[in-house]
Each structure stands twice: as structure tokens, then as C-alpha cells.
Structure 1
Amino acid sequence: MFDADTSLAKFLNDVECATSIYAFEIVDEEQKELKMMLATGDTTPYAGAVYEVVFRFPESYPFGVPHATFGSPIWNTWVHPVNKQVHFDDSQT
């Protein structure tokens, strides 16, 4: 059964949670560079951590793959341990 009040309350709660875990900033609009600050959830082993990720979008976007680089250390198999770049596909080295 659909309950509009419950659905609206859930939606507003989801929006509040979402805005508390990330923020975006346009760093350089001409260069298509965007910075995202991402906070981890309280139920993860990384609770309380905040990660900075910089996205650079190629001229060919959305057909080209964006570049994403972490500004803070993170241990993930998709992130290069030295240059902190996210490995989206085999075309990036």
C-alpha cells in the first residue's frame, strides 16, 4: 500500500543523508574539473573519514572516460597506490 506521508518523509530523510555525505565544487569550468568531498558512512570501517576526489572530463565526454584522482590516501584495488588515480578501464595506465 502506498503511503504518501511515509514516502515523502523517507525521501526527505534520504536527501538529508545524501547532502551530509558529499559536496561538489566546480574547480575549473573551462578545463571541466570538478571536486567532490565524500564522507564515509557511520557503519563502515572508515567511519569519520572524508575523501577528496577530483574529476577531469575530456573534451569527448560523455564518450571519453573521465579521470578521477583521490586527494587523500585510500586503499582500493581500483585506485593506483602512488598516483591515486581511479582505474576505470583498460585504456588508462
Structure 2
Amino acid sequence: MSQLDGIHDPHHHAWMVDMGHTQETHSAQVINEDRKEFMVFMAGPPGTGYESGTFKIRLAFPDNYPNGVPEAKFLVPIWNCHVDWDTQKVIFDRVDEGEPLFTIEESLKYIEAIMKSNQEEKESIYVKTTQFWTVYTAQGRLGPCPDMMQKLGQLQDMGFGERDSILALSRSEWDADQAVEAILAGSIADDEPSHNAPSTSSAFY
């Protein structure tokens, strides 16, 4: 789409204006202007299991922006109850409220909000799991729970791969026996590692 076409398309023009504002406040890069697609880097919110991690997210918006629901996918894997663990796509809960409005700003605020949710109980399995994933995929510095590291080592000593072991343990709330059963049952997909995973030795997704 040419710049002139964008001026005549109110939805495209609105997205371009909002994108310009976003680039003033975030580290964001347009990938495909026609698809209203961009990448953004977000820091893990302080006081959460994501603290000190850096997350790369790709967002794409519908043609009738800001109407409809965007597609947002974590390119740095995250453990979050509002993100599909397999596809790493954000689950937008407002889709049942008719035709929702999601501007770029609202979408980023939504993502930040889901990262802050369910973080009250610092010793809960959920929060510890979010912290574990942050260390392994987002270069977080808080350090994973020693007990979780021990269970991961236990599964790896049995010959299971790092990625499958972490996924199985996370889904089973770190019950090693259940994790082994899940892997043996084939319920953990044996996918190739994502090319979008960070280039560190600990990137397992």
C-alpha cells in the first residue's frame, strides 16, 4: 500500500498514527505495513515472575483497525495462563463482547496486564513457573527455584529433552511422575525449536 493509499484508508491511517506514537514510547519496529504488523520488546513488569526478562512480541491488526481483535504472539516463550502454551499466542478475553476495540496502546496495556495478573502469591507454583520460564527464555536474572531445577535434571537424566521436560513439568505443576507419564504418552508435541527463540544455550522452545 502506498502512502497515498494509506491516507485514503481511515483504518490504515489510524494505525499509522498510533504506530508513530508507539515508537515514541516503545522499542517497536514495523514488519509489514499492509498487514498492520509490528514487533515490540517489552520488559517484564517489576514485582512479577517476569521481572528482569525481555520479551519480543509480534502483533498484527485487522483491516478494520481499531475494530476487531489483533493477533499477538510471544516470540520469546512465556508461561502465562492467558497465552496458549503451544502457539504462544495471546488469548484476548474480550472477544465475546461484540466487536471490541483494540488500539495498539490498548493491546500493549492488555499484554502488560496479563503479565501482572495472578502474581500475588509469590510462592505459588504458577509464579515460580513464570519465573522459571523467564530465566530460561527471556534472560531473566532472578534465578529459578532449586527444586524445579532438580526435577528438570531428573527428567533429563532419564533421557528426556530439555524442552519436553520443561513443558511437561510446567503443565503437571512440577509433579515429576506426571510429567514423565505425559511425555511417554506423547501429549507433549515434539516440535522443532522455534527460530524466533533467543540465541542462548538455554532457549528451549
Please identify runs of 4+ aligned residues in structure 1 that moved more than 4 A: none
Moved more, 26-35 or 82-91: 82-91
Q: How many residues align?
A: 71
Moved more, 78-87 or 37-46: 37-46
Q: CA deviation at 1:34?
A: 1.1
State whether structure 2 residue 30 is matched by structure 1 residue 50.
Answer: no
Q: CA deviation at 1:35?
A: 0.7
Q: CA deviation at 1:70?
A: 0.4
Identity fraction in percent: 34
State whether structure 2 residue 63 is matched by structure 1 residue 59.
Answer: yes
> Which residue number corresponds to residue 77 of structure 2?
73
Q: CA deviation at 1:43?
A: 3.8
Partner deviation per Cα, 1:25-59 (whole Å, 9 max, x = no partner):
11111111011101124543333211011100010
> Which residue number corresponds to residue 4 of structure 1?
none
Query: What is the root-mean-square deviation of aligned Cα atoms in Å?
Result: 1.9
Residues 1:76 and 1:30: Cα distance change in structure 2 (over 3 Å): same
Partner amino acid, structure 2, of 1:73: P
After TM superposition, the score normalised by the length of structure 2 is 0.32
Partner amino acid, structure 1, of 2:39: K
Gaps of at least 5 residues in structure 1 are 1-18
> Which residue number corresponds to residue 88 of structure 2?
84
After TM superposition, the score normalised by the length of structure 1 is 0.66
